[in-house]
Structure 1
Amino acid sequence: MFQLSDHFDGERFINPTLEDQVRPGLRDVFGMISEGRPSWPDKVANTATPRLDHDLGVNGMAVTFVNHATFLIQLPGLTILTDPVWSDRVSPVSWFGPKRVRAPGIDFDALPEVDVVLISHNHYDHLDLPTLRKLNARFSPQFYVPLGNRTLLHEAGIMAVTELDWWQDVVAASGVRIVLTPAQHSSGRGLRDRDRSLWGSYYITRGSRSLFFGGDSGYSSQFTEIRETLGAPEVALLGMGAYEPRWFMKPLHMNPAEALMAHRDLRAGYSIGMHFGTFQLASEEFQEPVEDLARALAEDPAHAERFVTMREGDVRLFPRERADVGE
């Protein structure tokens, strides 16, 4: 059993930022579907060619967008994957459920050596057991998960798993510090395990480099708290998809305008939008997140070059001197 805290009530994990806890169930899903959902394309071709052999020097950083919430983060001496998903569907079974419309931006067989895997929570579009098994068999990386998720990986034959609570940190190889930070979300892979495991985000530092991976989160005061506790990150990876209808998704997922607010709260030097355009998980149009972000940035042009999206397979290189953080 886990220790009582502001985010664990002795039975389930909770969101301290919400007065009324959100535990989405089948009624919510069917309610969303009954309102109608737009038609997405069956397949969209990737247009970027990934380049993975970077000269990072002693303090560089390369961030490659794979798909959805999966990023390859390369630091000198350590390579990290966030919420890796290479499966065609994100559901309990391989023949039904949300199906990808874009291939991953990096072929699995083309991955460089992976040292660390970060899992934000146990929803199927973030904790993809078939992919985790393949990563474990090929690279034997160290897996980091929020409280309550280690057993799931152990049952899948993955033993190098470290559980973390919010604000708990570890130091990996090459002096990389990894902190599990708060998020406003939920967990569950079936009908009986709602919020029995924790969810979170991650703050990664090495020397003057810093990166925040937001996982899944609704907008809350936690972004300001993270910046006040750990500092403004050089790079923030922020969800901006699966946000409609708002009556269902608002506590769980940010829309692009809220993601821009989180970017400002964090005072991130550079933010990259994610969690859109791969799996149809909610009710927005395929292009709606990018269009909504453009509208939000048009009202805040000072951040137009600091909040971007990337094509699957695109890479951003961060130089040896730290980029300016936002004000």
Structure 2
Amino acid sequence: MRPGARHGARQGPDGRFLNPDGGVAGNSLREVWRMMREGGGTPWPRHLDDPAEDPPAEPPPGHAAITFIGHATFLIGLHGGPTLLTDPIWSERCSPFSFLGPRRARAPGLRLEALPPLDAVLLSHNHYDHLDVPTLRALEAPRIVTGLGNSRILTRNGLPEAEELDWWGETTVGRATVTYLPARHFSARAIGDRGRSLWGGFAIRVTEGAILFAGDTAHGGHLAEIGAEAGPFAIGLIPIGAYEPNWFMRVVHMNPEEAVRARAETRTRTAVAMHFGTFKLTQEGIDEPPRALAEARAAAGLPAGDFVVPRFGQTLMLPLGS
């Protein structure tokens, strides 16, 4: 990674973290109320059964095994290590309550008990669909890497302290260099803690190449900065869902057309779609993000293999080198 314009996250006068463009994170209460009045949008099926997939195998030299477990949860296996897990959630709901909140439309693509030994868990931010305390308790992961301010959520829930990074901060996990990257989003787990902890994504770099896990992010100039400073990426895990109504969601999430642009801006060779088809968080239908991605991909003249929509539980064996 070359020196450049990258800098750590900034905070406002009240100590809350700001987005890369200096803007306040998230929407106003008036906008939230307007969005709620619009209703839930297209209904989702209560439950979908996906065909069983083979468990992940050891990737061959120069490759990564990318297993889509659902939402933003991926098992990432590299030949010779490390083995990483992103934003793990196996819970039935992404909520502070076991009886209320968004419910799974699909079971996780891999049983928790089928996971191989992990070297680290990467947590992008503190929203309930990304930082799930019951899952983290069950995992007993040896190490958790996350953004500033998130470790206290773990420790007050009886979990070990995590390693916290500022934007562009780095650590090593096995032979990989892991860098915490900026994102245009926000953080909150309760009414009064908005912006008190940091949100972001991760770059994972080994000798053979690099992987991007974009986390939750709206489109913005930070994506080109990530491409210039941390790219190119052989593989990029890029969100495509939770974008309607666009007037409300565009400040925190990308739609599929923006995701296609993000692939180019981050200098990603093979993009893998995430953040769709698991929890109903917004108004679009369950199948709408993959359909809209196919249209955006075609409009951009992009082959299907350059932006893949994985099956739930599918393991993609993708090369890291050129």
Range of TM-score over shorter length: over 0.9
Q: Distance in 1 between matches of 2:183 and 2:134?
A: 25
Q: Distance in 2 between matches of 1:284 and 1:18?
A: 29
Residue in structure 1 matched with residue 75 of structure 2 by the alignment: 72
| 1:200 maps onto 2:204 in alignment | no
Percent identity, aligned pairs only, is 41
Q: Give the superposed CA RMSD.
A: 1.7
Pairs aligned (count): 313
Q: Distance in 2 between matches of 1:24 and 1:227?
A: 27
Residue 25 (structure 1) shift: 6.0
Residue in structure 1 matched with residue 104 of structure 2 by the alignment: 100
Q: Distance in 2 between matches of 1:257 and 1:230?
A: 23
- Evaluate the alpha carbon distance shift between residue 46 and residue 218 of structure 1 in structure 2; reply closer, same or farther with a 3 A threshold: same
Residue 117 (structure 1) shift: 0.2
Q: Distance in 2 between matches of 1:30 and 1:204?
A: 39
- Evaluate the alpha carbon distance shift between residue 56 and residue 154 of structure 1 in structure 2; reply closer, same or farther with a 3 A threshold: farther
One-letter amino acid of the counterpart of residue 237, structure 2? L
| 1:253 maps onto 2:253 in alignment | yes
CA distances 1:239-278 after superposition (whole Å, capped 9, x unpaired):
1100011121001000000000000111211001110100
Alignment partner of 1:204: what SS?
strand
Q: Distance in 2 between matches of 1:104 and 1:287?
A: 17
Q: Distance in 2 between matches of 1:100 and 1:191?
A: 24
Residue in structure 2 matched with residue 142 of structure 1 by the alignment: 143
Any conservation in 2 of the 1:52–1:112 contact (CA below 8 Å)? Answer: no
Residue in structure 1 matched with residue 314 of structure 2 by the alignment: 314
Q: Distance in 2 between matches of 1:289 and 1:68?
A: 12
Residue in structure 2 matched with residue 88 of structure 1 by the alignment: 92
Residue in structure 2 matched with residue 164 of structure 1 by the alignment: 165
Any conservation in 2 of the 1:121–1:127 contact (CA below 8 Å)? Answer: yes
Any conservation in 1 of the 2:20–2:183 contact (CA below 8 Å)? Answer: no
Alignment partner of 1:258: what SS?
helix
Any conservation in 2 of the 1:48–1:311 contact (CA below 8 Å)? Answer: no
Residue 290 (structure 1) shift: 1.0
CA distances 1:173-231 after superposition (whole Å, capped 9, x unpaired):
1x110000100000000100011100001000111121000100000111110111122
**Pairwise mapping of residues 4-43 of structure 1 onto structure 2 (< 5 A)?**
7-10=10-13, 11-17=15-21, 19=23, 21-24=24-27, 27-36=30-39, 37-43=41-47
One-letter amino acid of the counterpart of residue 194, structure 1? R
Residue 29 (structure 1) shift: 4.0
Q: Distance in 2 between matches of 1:43 and 1:147?
A: 36
- Evaluate the alpha carbon distance shift between residue 26 and residue 124 of structure 1 in structure 2; reply closer, same or farther with a 3 A threshold: farther
One-letter amino acid of the counterpart of residue 221, structure 1? G
Residue 298 (structure 1) shift: 1.6
Structure 1: tracts of 5 or more residues without a match: none
Alignment partner of 1:229: what SS?
helix
Residue in structure 1 matched with residue 286 of structure 2 by the alignment: 286
Any conservation in 2 of the 1:32–1:283 contact (CA below 8 Å)? Answer: no
Residue 161 (structure 1) shift: 1.2
One-letter amino acid of the counterpart of residue 283, structure 2? S
Alignment partner of 2:189: what SS?
coil
- Evaluate the alpha carbon distance shift between residue 12 and residue 305 of structure 1 in structure 2; reply closer, same or farther with a 3 A threshold: same
CA distances 1:135-154 after superposition (whole Å, capped 9, x unpaired):
11xxx321001000011111
Q: Distance in 1 between matches of 2:60 and 2:122?
A: 21
Residue 160 (structure 1) shift: 4.6
Residue 98 (structure 1) shift: 0.3
Residue in structure 2 matched with residue 210 of structure 1 by the alignment: 210
Structure 2: tracts of 5 or more residues without a match: 1-6
Residue in structure 2 matched with residue 182 of structure 1 by the alignment: 182
- Evaluate the alpha carbon distance shift between residue 52 and residue 305 of structure 1 in structure 2; reply closer, same or farther with a 3 A threshold: closer
What TM-score do you get using the length of structure 1 for normalisation? 0.91
Residue 304 (structure 1) shift: 3.2
One-letter amino acid of the counterpart of residue 123, structure 1? H
| 1:133 maps onto 2:144 in alignment | no
Superposed structure 1 runs of 4+ greater than 3 Å apart: 22-30
Q: Distance in 2 between matches of 1:178 and 1:308?
A: 24
Residue in structure 2 matched with residue 274 of structure 1 by the alignment: 274
